[in-house]
Chains A and B, each alone.
Chain A
Amino acid sequence: MEFPAALFPSYFGAGPPREEWGPAPAAGWGEHGQVLEAGPGRRQAETAFVPRRGGTGETWEPADAAAVPFLPPNASCWVPSLAPQDILYRGVLRRKLQAGKCEAALDFTKQLGHFFVDHPEDAFGSLGRLLHQNFHLGNSKLRRHARESTIRMTALREEIDRLEARRGCPQQHLVPRLRWFSHLSRDWLFEVPLGLLADCVHEDLLLQWASLLFDDSPTGGALAWLPPKDEGAHTGRLVYPGGQAMNHLYFQDVVLEELPRARGSPAEFELNGRIRQVAAARADGEDFVGVRSDYHCGVWRVPARTGAAPTPLQVIRTSVPASCLTVSPHLPGELAVCTQSGAVYLWNVETGLQRLRHDPQTMFFRDHSPWRWSDFTAHPRVLSCADRTGLQCLDARAPGRCHFDLFKVGEEAGCQQGERVVLPMYLGKAYPSQHLITTQFSVYMLDERLPLVPVLKWAHMMKAPPLFAHLTPGGPDGSHKVLLGSSRTQELLLLQYRGEKWGTGGGSRSACQLAGPPQKLHSIAGCLQHLPAQLPYRHRLLQQRLSAPAAGLAAALQEDGLQESLLVFQLSEAGDVFYQRLTHKAAPPPAPASGDEAAAAPGSSPLFDDPASSPPGLGSEGEEQEEEEQTFYFPQPSPVAALRYRRWLKALSKGCGEPPQHTRPPTFGQKRLFTHKELEEPSGPSALHRQARQRLRQAMRDGGRIQCWDPPAPQPPTLPQVPEPAGDPDPLSARLTAAWSGDCEQWREERTSFNVAQRQQALRERRRRQKRAQGRRSLSASFTSSLTYQSELSELSDAPPPPLSPGRPREVS
């Protein structure tokens, strides 16, 4: 609470930001920033100094090799969100377009084309009906009397089809006929005026592209952890969204034991909008949970008793999408709401809404973003208001008069040009007057008592701007842990900071310092390599699912006797919740022993080793250490984690169901390759021509290919028919057949639901066979007796096998 007796030195300038470097990959390393005398309380001969950055922090080590699923996969088929390739030009045209400028080339014509194809009635309905009689689309010749009022459009259609087939071809040019038709009909053919429609499509494309580049709607994150009520209790709650549209809110009891586990089924609420943000704070011993969707904000109260059901308190509706919802840590039932129209409200469940500010303009300089944010401060009546350009603090009692600037994107904080505020957060749980502000380049720590001058600044080097942050306050001697998370890239970064007390006798606090190097935590996508091997297309689907953008972040501190551990939960846009555990190594890392020091001769500096003389793996440091390093680099998941992966995967494939069984293989229409005329018999073809054509037809019918064009002397011998498998095929071929047609899962289930007798019979028979053919072990036998099979069976056996429906067409067998 006390203000530091001395702050780290820094220059202070006013005005717009001067520097313009853009993101720099290593900007956060190697700097101490400034130093400060380490406390007047120390009675030492020499003065000691502490750095602003680079001091020692606590050691938190990941307990597992990757993030582990915490809850079953969100039970619904997830539709992958928009990807850049969906709306950008691809291929040659892109390169051509990009040659001139570096901006992205939006595939505007494709989108417009999609509209015409998907909604022909809306696009051409009435004119289509009017001209119906006058356009002829068939192949037949027009009759004489019809020719007066009808034109034949077949050729035009074929041209269009061919154009589509040659999409991306460098030799593509517009056919005069098409050009002629488009010139002729552009002004009258369309139901919606083309210019207007094009404007709308273009505008929407730009919006889509902007949100692809940076989507700020999930700012703050949609995952919250409500810690246990009493110290020593082990049951907390996790609040998260789920369901197909992410519009269900869940409150799940979580028991923190050696492994965190969900207890009972969660309390569930269905909302009528996608949940963007879940914010929580504890005031007066009760948890208040605020939930933001685009047009609605709601607040729930979670009573102090464990097991008591959360109660919804109030909902507000906004006419403009809300961009922020934060819960007061000071007063029960108080929240701050911002909308994209630039309004900031203080929302009290009892007294209602109070508008503190309404300003569509940004505060310090002009920025187009309608994003606004608000949070609480050390004074319960003072709120911080943020837009992309900075932060102001407003007094709710006189919002028009009483305010001060807390942070400005400018020279005051040493910002760069183009830097923008991404997420502010009140750090009251650690120190009552500090705030965290993240931008796309740096993190800043601000103190309300010293506005505008960051007490800490660090370039975070993250690839995407941190949209989520979480604070875990440390004890009186410990450092405070801040987790930063980005959405698109799923990055997770752990920072530690502290403002330690001088000596033991109290007195004033030291200035804020960043402790220890930053640490990267596992992302959800990183667990892909630890999952059991999948079929390629499944692997792709899984990859897509696991690398869905992150949607939230929460952490729980767990103390088990002497062992402290930090559980970090991560939510993905697909609705999956993963966790990872970090354990606190209480003892500081062992200082280099004197023996080590001696061994490190001046020549063998860790940086200037000649890589040729000591290739990695054969260093002079001894096999043992090398091995240890190796395992540290490529750790394997623990058996418990592996089991969770398998369960999760199984639930995922069950929940999402099989892909539709009767999808046809992709086909190509030959119409697009050849025009009708070309496919017709030519008037006078040569014999060779005819023969070649015949062979081509034959080959296309058979689905084969032509090896050489020489005239065939004898008829090629017909391929022997593939013998239909008679009776029971051996399990390997059955499995391979199943795998080939893409339903290995079904095969597996069938295997397990085999009645036991049959299986035993099969086993007995196989053993007999094995005995008979001692010498030549068949591949199938070795496969079925292999370990994977056994483990799969045992894994599957913890759930009763679903009954096989008799009506289901069995493709296998």
Chain B
Amino acid sequence: PSHEYKLNFKKSKEVCLSYIQDAMLQKQWKRAAEFLTFYIESLEKDFSTEYMGPSEMIWRIGTEILCHHSNSSMKEFNSFIEQMKTLGVKRYLKVCLEHAFHLLCNGLIDEAYQNLSLAESWRFGEQTIIQNKELKLIQAYRGLLDYYSWCKQKNILLEHGQDGFEDLSVEQEMHSCFRKAAVSLKEIIEIPGVWDLFVKCYVDLLEFYGDHNEARQVLNEYAYNSKFPANPNAHVYLYQFLKRHGESKKSLISALKILHDIVPSHELMIDFNIMLQKSKKRKKRRLGLEVIFAALDYAGWKENVKAWSCLARQVKQIVMSEKHLDWIKQEWNSRKDWWPAFHFSCYLAKRNWQENESLSYEKALVAGILLGKDCKYFKYISHQGCKAQVKRFRILKKFVNKHSPVYLRISS
């Protein structure tokens, strides 16, 4: 009979859980809450060895319900979570972290800070790998909040400093915030991961105190350590740092070159192209053409007027100087079988003309040079432009007609 009882108990537990699940998935939070009050009984004689026991499920389900239930308040949420924290030792840190997230998202920064510092000081036997990770995260988020209060004090000081008035206690508090933030932020960004927020804050701290070498090292490590994922933001932060500190063009270009290699479709590629076009070196201008062509390969750039005008400008330059036509030819070779359908179809000509005149102008210029004056896209746009008596389209038509031999050289 005891076996049967256990079996029945298990079965009714499962049925109850499926009712809860069903209600939650239909957003019937009140109904789910009613069922959950019954499910709490399943904590009794919980000998389950499954990964997710009833206590974890109650935490998860209860949290979710309280987040959506129309009658719940922050007070109840807190008291529920406090009870959940006592239910499982292994889960304690996770529950604390999630609790802090909830408080942060509701604007309760101070409460979140208290919670995080409390969780940080919690010790229980030996920690598992996951618990260790969670603890590091708790410290990092606490450090992040320290950083924000440092910012606040800094702003107070800066404002007051303008008045020629100094407050020692504020300054001291600010420094202590800095120390606390720096220590915990530094710790987590050494572990492989995506730590955009933490890195940015840490670098900001270091820069404020003038430790540029350390900041540069941190950013270099974040961008180039092969144990870290290939995060485009790491390179962007490095580039921005270099730019802020007035580094040479060469180092800026080399930072962006690496970004180009990993993400050819990054929005900084326009800046990169502009920078390269201005360069006096042939090789760099060549790279510029490569960069802008590569960016326009991507679907997300299809209607980007800036990118098209960059390409149009550079192509125009090359055609007028009649030097380096082979650059265009080389770029065009790997694209001529699909760019016409991708960028220069009749359908797109009509749509671009209707939706964005300047886009169609830039594209028509490129199309006219790459595909010749008989290309449908160019013909349609120049015809429409001349019909509408827009001056630049007439000039465009003249330009393309004048340079029509170029097309033959590119396509041969």
A-side residues, CB < 8 A to B, are: 1-14, 20-22, 24-27, 29-37, 46-51, 54-55, 284-286, 329-332, 351, 378-381, 397, 412, 428, 431-433, 449-453, 461, 493, 508, 517-520, 589, 592, 596-597, 600, 602, 604-611, 616, 629, 632-633
Residues of B within 8 A of A600 (CB): 71-73, 76
Report yes or no: A30 in contact with B60, Cβ–Cβ below 8 A.
yes
Residues of B within 8 A of A518 (CB): 25
Q: List 9 A-B contacts (CB under 8 A).
A: A1-B301, A24-B52, A29-B60, A32-B102, A35-B105, A46-B109, A51-B101, A286-B347, A606-B76
B26 within 8 A of A: yes
Report yes or no: A633 in contact with B28, Cβ–Cβ below 8 A.
yes
B198 within 8 A of A: yes
Residues of A within 8 A of B25 (CB): 493, 517-520
CA distance A37 to B38 in the complex (A): 38
Query: What is the distance, in angstroms, from A696's C-beta to the closest C-beta of chain B?
Result: 41
Q: Please provide the chain B residues from 17 to 52 with a CB less than 8 Å away from any CB of chain A in the complex.
A: 17, 21-22, 24-31, 33-34, 36-38, 51-52
B9 within 8 A of A: no
Report yes or no: A605 in contact with B52, Cβ–Cβ below 8 A.
no
Report yes or no: A453 in contact with B233, Cβ–Cβ below 8 A.
no
Given A3-B267, A11-B192, are A26 and B231 neighbors across the interface (CB < 8 Å)?
Answer: no
B197 within 8 A of A: yes
Query: What is the distance, in angstroms, from A299's C-beta to the closest C-beta of chain B?
Result: 16
CA distance A633 to B107 in the complex (A): 34
Q: How many residues of B contact A (CB 8 A)?
A: 88
Q: Please provide the chain B residues from 190 to 243 with a CB less than 8 Å away from any CB of chain A in the complex.
A: 191-198, 200, 227-233, 236
Query: What is the distance, in angstroms, from A792's C-beta to the closest C-beta of chain B?
Result: 33
Query: What is the distance, in angstroms, from A397's C-beta to the closest C-beta of chain B?
Result: 6
Q: Please provide the chain B residues from 68 to 113 with a CB less than 8 Å away from any CB of chain A in the complex.
A: 68-73, 75-76, 79-80, 98, 101-102, 104-105, 107, 109
CA distance A33 to B94 in the complex (A): 10
Given A27-B60, A452-B229, A611-B37, are A632 and B28 neighbors across the interface (CB < 8 Å)?
Answer: yes
B137 within 8 A of A: yes
Report yes or no: A5 in contact with B233, Cβ–Cβ below 8 A.
yes
CA distance A608 to B33 in the complex (A): 9
Per a CB cutoff under 8 Å, which of B36, B133, B196, B265 touches A7?
Answer: B196
Report yes or no: B197 in contact with A37, Cβ–Cβ below 8 A.
yes
Given A2-B267, A7-B194, A611-B37, are A606 and B299 neighbors across the interface (CB < 8 Å)?
Answer: no
Report, nearest first, the 9 A-B pairs whose CB atoms are least far apart: A30-B60, A520-B25, A30-B63, A21-B51, A432-B300, A1-B300, A32-B101, A6-B196, A29-B64
B297 within 8 A of A: yes
Report yes or no: A13 in contact with B192, Cβ–Cβ below 8 A.
yes
Given A6-B197, A29-B24, are A616 and B60 neighbors across the interface (CB < 8 Å)?
Answer: no
Residues of A within 8 A of B72 (CB): 600, 605-606
Per a CB cutoff under 8 Å, which of B70, B193, B299 touches A330?
Answer: B299
Report yes or no: A30 in contact with B298, Cβ–Cβ below 8 A.
no
Residues of A within 8 A of B101 (CB): 32-35, 49, 51
Residues of B within 8 A of A27 (CB): 52, 60
B-side residues, CB < 8 A to A, are: 17, 21-22, 24-31, 33-34, 36-38, 51-52, 56-57, 59-73, 75-76, 79-80, 98, 101-102, 104-105, 107, 109, 133, 137, 140-141, 148, 191-198, 200, 227-233, 236, 262-263, 265-267, 297-301, 304, 334, 337-338, 341-342, 345, 347-348, 351
Report yes or no: B265 in contact with A607, Cβ–Cβ below 8 A.
no
Please give 20 more A-B residue pairs, beta carbons under 8 A apart, in addition to A605-B76, A606-B72, A629-B30: A3-B263, A3-B266, A9-B195, A12-B193, A12-B227, A26-B56, A29-B61, A30-B67, A32-B101, A49-B105, A51-B105, A54-B67, A449-B232, A451-B230, A517-B25, A596-B71, A600-B73, A600-B76, A608-B37, A610-B37
CA distance A54 to B17 in the complex (A): 21
CA distance A450 to B72 in the complex (A): 39
Per a CB cutoff under 8 Å, which of A6, A397, A461 touches B21?
Answer: A461
Residues of B within 8 A of A12 (CB): 192-194, 227-229
Residues of B within 8 A of A611 (CB): 34, 37-38
Most buried by B among A7, A30, A332, A607: A607
Query: What is the distance, in angstroms, from B9's C-beta to the closest C-beta of chain A?
Result: 16
Query: What is the distance, in angstroms, from B300's C-beta to the closest C-beta of chain A?
Result: 4
Report yes or no: A26 in contact with B57, Cβ–Cβ below 8 A.
yes
Report yes or no: B341 in contact with A284, Cβ–Cβ below 8 A.
yes
Q: Which residue of A lies closest to B136 (CB)?
A: A11
Residues of A within 8 A of B337 (CB): 351
Report yes or no: B64 in contact with A30, Cβ–Cβ below 8 A.
yes
Report yes or no: A35 in contact with B299, Cβ–Cβ below 8 A.
no
Residues of A within 8 A of B297 (CB): 379-381
Residues of A within 8 A of B191 (CB): 11
Residues of A within 8 A of B230 (CB): 450-452
CA distance A31 to B59 in the complex (A): 10
Residues of B within 8 A of A284 (CB): 341, 345, 347-348
Per a CB cutoff under 8 Å, which of B80, B195, B345 touches A605?
Answer: B80
CA distance A324 to B395 in the complex (A): 49
Given A6-B196, A30-B59, A606-B72, are A22 and B300 neighbors across the interface (CB < 8 Å)?
Answer: no
